Amino acid sequence: MHRRFLRQCAAMAVAVISLGACTRAEAALPKPIDITGVAALSLQVSGVWLEIRPTENSLVSFETEAAGIEVEMERDGEEMRLTVQGNKKTDAENRDVPLVCMALPPEICEKLSIEAVRSGLLLCPVSADVEARARDAASVAVQYSGAYAQNVNMEILEGSAGTIAVFAGGENFSLAIENAGGNVRICTRYPQCEDGGRYRHTEGNGQSRLQVSVDGGSFDLAYSATGYQEP
């Protein structure tokens, strides 16, 4: 009788421990944040990496892994404004620049405005028209897949340095660099989708126009004809 009671107590203890472990594991999982119909969203990111990606039951979800970036998102009808700000000043040689990685569903908006301050920003995919601004040693990369934007305008402001990589498939792409704090490298591709998610270089097809203006600093303009695998 006592042995059976002890065995039952032991089994209950194991069940409670297992339940606690499951609860902790569930608590550790990132929770999706549904921004459907939300006018503004301010988020203090606990991680350097932030991913926004479509989920089954919500429009957008967040996943974080380290510290140092504040993200503010404001949505007004078909327009979305995204501000990303790092806590520390960086420079062109700093490989640990805070980087925000975002995957936005193509249908999320028609126009996207981006401002990155003391941080790096990667967006993929985006089919909206894009206006991007980077300040204080920030870098912005916009990669397109699926439907391409018709217009991409990027502005690199005072104090910016490092690499600004743009993968643009739109009809018009303009870039203005003002008082860059270091060398800025511009990598531009005009990809065309092929079978299997592969892309090929289509420079000179008469459909894309590239305009670059520079005021202070220096920059390298590189065209890449190398195909790449869509992530």
Residues 6 or more apart whose CB falls under 8 angstroms from that of 162 comprise 90, 91, 92, 97, 120, 137, 138, 139, 182, 184
**What's the burial of 40, exposed, middle or buried (CB within 10 Å: 0-12/13-18/19+)?**
exposed
The predicted pLDDT at position 81 comes to: 78
**Phi and psi for 144 in degrees, rounded to 5?**
-110, 145
Q: For residue 186, name the pLDDT band (cuts at 50, 70, 90).
A: low
Q: What is the SS3 assignment for 84?
A: strand
Measured distance CA(158)–CA(110) in Å, rounded: 28
pLDDT tens readout for residues 86-138: 665 544 444 445 556 565 655 667 777 878 777 666 665 566 677 777 776 56
Is residue 194 predicted with pLDDT exceeding 70?
A: no
Is residue 184 predicted with pLDDT exceeding 50?
A: yes
213-224 average pLDDT score: 49
214-225 average pLDDT score: 48
Top pLDDT among 73 and 180 is at 73
Is residue 214 predicted with pLDDT exceeding 50?
A: yes
**Phi and psi for 21 in degrees, rounded to 5?**
-65, -40
The predicted pLDDT at position 231 comes to: 33
